[in-house]
Amino acid sequence: MKRDILIGVVFLLGILLTLTFKDFTFLIIPSIGIPASLAYLERHKNILAKSNLLERDTLMIIGIITLVTIAFNFMIDPRFGLLMLGTVVPLIAGLKGR
């Protein structure tokens, strides 16, 4: 229960500050605060050692997203690259999985 309230407060704080000041940089608060608070609350369980967070595939996807964002940042709006990744990559994965 304590964990859920903490996540809700951090999320609402980021959203309210974003809406109040009309600045999207306040969305950094929930995007960093929620994982940090969950990691702090669950630190005794040592979840990171048991998870597949640092697999080769995960690191490869993070690298591809970073490269596409940087490449599209120089050409056009980087949101187009992320939108393309969000639509094309699942289609390719779905077709490859058949």
Q: How many domains does the chain have?
A: 2
68 and 30 share a domain?
A: no
Dihedral in degrees, nearest 10, Cα atoms 90, 93, 94, 95: 120
Q: What is the pTM of this model?
A: 0.47
Please tell me which residue, 76 or 34, carries the higher pLDDT value.
34
One domain, residues 47 and 63: no
pLDDT of residue 37: 84
**Range of the structural domain that residue 60 is part of:** 52-98
Average pLDDT over residues 66-77: 76
- Same domain for 89 and 71, yes or no, is yes
Give residue-wise pLDDT tens across range 31-47: 888 888 887 777 777 65
Please check whether residues 47 and 57 belong to one and the same domain. Answer: no
Q: Are 64 and 56 in contact (CB under 8 A)?
A: no
Structure tokens at 80: 């187009």
Q: Determine the pLDDT at residue 53.
A: 58
